[in-house]
Structure 1
């Protein structure tokens, strides 16, 4: 067996041991054990026998899913634990894995963070569980998010196909037309800010997730990953489209320098000084709860396009349920994951406000005909579902994307607080990501 060299990956307080030996590169080795196999008979036997599984997840709709699963299988107990959101949970999970103690049977992992676990084989490959048979149930973006090196390391739980949320009241007041292209978006930004210098088309203080989603939609593919071989390049034609357009907004001070999810951000969304958001389809519940006084003012439109007449979209957010390699009760854990992400639990979560990754829900008349009171009765799911269908499944994240995102504001963020051009700032981000990858033992193509 090849020896694995291990280095520490630190990002936003996350510590992740990366296995950088030959077996981590997706290659096969006759001395390595075969992928785990769990049959339908194994799953049925596990459900009949019963037992307890521990699930680490912050997604609120899983509470009802767990209760329903226990009711359907009286001998099963689901210990649902919120170990923190995103990076907080990843830190706790990595600590448990390193200590080989307290590792959950199921863990929620966002798509952008999957690589740091799949490369090291810290998640169970579900191919031998029959997961490949479920591929057709999911839209392309989320399904790509759970695959790595020929393996399937989770089942998609939700997704975030992008759309343009806009304040119709503001657009009507200033006689603005909803933009269908990003060039039209820049024109609308100019017209709005000229009519009301206190109003901005959107906010952007620098955000890694938003930037990668915009690059994705523009056709940029800055990350190429083959095991421990990676390539990072923010100068392809798609990236140039994005930086050239967004630079106009920054140069002309047409975007509010407000951080998303801050008090000022919510205030701007409520009083009309932030007029649009290009963001994932999970946003409606956040608007309804955080910007209550603007109910009825907002609407949803397709994401503006980089080329007139195109129908390209991308994902912004979303996560999967995975089985950590050191977890126990694998058959029972997989039964729960399958129930939550492709079975009855999907409808339960959708009713609770989650946005699905499954095409059956996305294309159903019941789902698409839902009227959103917050959006003036608009059937917004029709727009979200169309966006999901138009997401390219060819996007890849770095195996250490969590770290890369953590240094975004110190590198690419300079474009938002100085005269540094966005294209140059992205090159700084690229250089920092390359340097870090090399320090961790990755082979980085320049």
Structure 2
């Protein structure tokens, strides 16, 4: 698998931007750093997000900052329509000043010249040390010379498990993936499944690959390398394929009533998920309250503490904003101040990307649904154990769709997970080439 240094990737992204710009007939302005000077007079910013309760959080800012007011626009989550709206609005020259963009979607906006480079904003650059290092890498895309947004939240992963079922059946909570498979056999013998393998949400699988030390994309300074089938990805795919083949996991489509019922009825005993999964379980399996706990994600090597990440967003300044300085002031307040982070936690259980945010009182109390366990202590440790080297590609929506099609076939016995990754890689390369994005041979 091909990895790249931060400096090489900085050159690579600039080259990619220039090449895609040339394909469109010119050099994109995003190859230049945006001007970050204060505007004259009072400013009203437009901010588009899909975070529940975001209006109440923004009102805190508006009450304290009469000279920089923020008008909130809400919409569906990114891939459900907001991202396409952003691109349409950017092309028409009437985009919001600020937009919520998930980490895996940000490279697409960069190569399509849809976001401003904020590296000329001194306050943004100075904020780097406030964020967990890998989250900062998600908005710089590994570069040392560009910043394409302010990290908002993260999704460090852990193991949610049913304490009562493991105890009643004398099964130890697994700490390695080998132990997890052995536990899966015992759980199956007891009439349940240790977990559900998602055939539709490829982000979870990407989190497994991330934890294993894998990477799906890289850039050598002139072209993108696509490596969905690298050694670490293949290891993860083969592992889960064995569990599927041996009927040790269920394969319900995620986020469906069938999926919720499997957890609520005690048919499925664990979920390897991100910190935000705490709310998904409590809302989807209310009859199991008090019987869940959280442990670190199982490890490939005993004694290690590697974690994967599943989810997370940035707040980016969309191309064409006339108030970059003011936009970054608001974005930094929203994602670094104790006041805003606490309000975001209360409104949407958003897990912060700052190191200080991990220690907020909102994340230090025991959670009743989880038997009073201080579950966020587990995720705070995981948040600092995520590799900074995972890179997203510029066409992830298409990549997810192609791999998901293959996963659905694999769980029904038509091909394997590795076959799905191979087909996804071929389709991704074709998509990159069709958009004149250079691909390494």
TM-score (norm 1): 0.87
SS of structure 1 residue aligned to 2:71: strand
Classify the secondary structure of the residue corresponding to 1:279.
strand
Instruction: Establish whether residue 402 from structure 1 lines up as the match of residue 397 from structure 2.
Output: yes
Rounded to whole Å, the distance in 1 between the matches of 2:406 and 2:283 is 33
Instruction: For residue 90 of structure 1, report the CA deviation from its aligned partner.
Output: 0.4
1:136-285 correspondence to structure 2 within 5 Å = 136-148=129-141, 149=143, 150-196=145-191, 198-225=192-219, 229-285=223-279
Q: Is the 8 A contact 1:203 1:274 kept in 2?
A: no
> SS of the counterpart of 2:328?
helix
Q: Is the 8 A contact 2:32 2:117 kept in 1?
A: no
Cα RMSD (Å): 2.4
**Which segment drifts farther, 347-356 or 272-281?**
347-356
Structure 2 unaligned residues grouped into runs of 5+: 1-15
Partner of 1:3: none
User: 1:179 Cα deviation (Å)?
Assistant: 0.7
1:163–1:302: 8 Å Cα contact kept in structure 2? yes
Contact 2:335 2:341 in 1 (8 A): yes
Distance 1:24-1:72 versus aligned 2 partners, 3 A rule: farther
Who is 1:324 aligned against?
Answer: 318
Q: How does 1:409-420 map to 2 (within 5 A)?
A: 409-420=404-415
The structure 2 residue matched to 1:128, chosen from 120, 128, 135, is: 120
> Residue 268 of structure 2: SS of its match in structure 1?
coil
- Quote the residue 1:91 is aligned against: 84
Q: Does 1:390 align with 2:375?
A: no
Q: Which residue of 2 aligns with 1:106?
A: 98
- Identify the range of structure 1 (420-429 vs 313-322) with the bigger mean alpha-carbon deviation: 420-429
Work out the CA distance in 2 between the residues paired with 1:228 and 1:111.
22
Report if aligned partners of 2:261, 2:284 keep a CA contact under 8 Å in 1: no
Q: Tell me: CA distance 1:51–1:305, structure 2 relative to 1, closer, same or farther (3 Å).
A: same
Tell me if structure 1 keeps the 8 A contact 2:272–2:297: yes
Distance 1:33 1:376 in 2: 52
Q: Does the CA-based 8 Å contact 1:24-1:121 persist in structure 2?
A: no
The aligned residue for residue 11 of structure 1 is none
TM-fit CA distance, 1:367? 5.2
Q: Does 1:52 align with 2:44?
A: yes
Whole-Å Cα distance in 2 between the matches of residues 227 and 418 of structure 1?
40
Matches within 5 A, 1:332-351: 332-343=326-337, 344-351=339-346
Give SS of 2:99's match.
Answer: strand
Which secondary structure does the structure 1 equivalent of 2:439 belong to?
A: strand
Deviation at residue 23 of structure 1 after TM alignment:
6.5
The residue aligned with 1:5 is none
Indicate whether 1:80 and 2:78 are aligned.
no
Question: Is 1:380 the counterpart of 2:375 in the alignment?
Answer: yes
CA gap of 1:288–1:301, structure 2 versus 1, over 3 A, is: same
Cα separation, 1, equivalents of 2:392 and 2:290: 37
Preserved CA contact (<8 Å) 2:158 2:379: yes
SS in 2 for 1:443: coil
- Provide Cα deviations, 1:85-123, integer angstroms capped at 9, x if missing partner: 12111011111112223x101100000000011123310
Shift of 1:24: 8.2
CA distance in 2, matches of 1:255, 1:384: 24
Give me the whole-angstrom Cα distance separating, in 2, the residues matched to 1:99 and 1:205: 37
Structure 1 residue 329: deviation in Å?
A: 2.4
The answer to whether the 8 A contact 1:61-1:354 is kept is: no
Q: Determine helix, strand or coil for the equivalent of 1:146.
A: helix
2:306 corresponds, among 297, 301, 312, to 312
Q: Write out per-residue CA displacement over residues 247-291 of structure 1, whole angstroms, 9 at most, x where no aligned residue.
A: 211111211120111011111111111211111111222223332
Partner of 1:4: none
- Secondary structure at the counterpart of residue 382 of structure 2: helix
Q: What is the CA deviation profile of residues 279-307 of structure 1, one whole-angstrom value per residue up to 9, with x for unaligned ones?
A: 11112222233322221111111000011
Q: How many aligned residue pairs are there?
A: 417
Q: Please give the alpha-carbon distance, in whole angstroms, between the structure 2 residues aligned to 1:376 and 1:19.
A: 50
Alpha-carbon distance in 1 for matches of 2:301, 2:106: 31
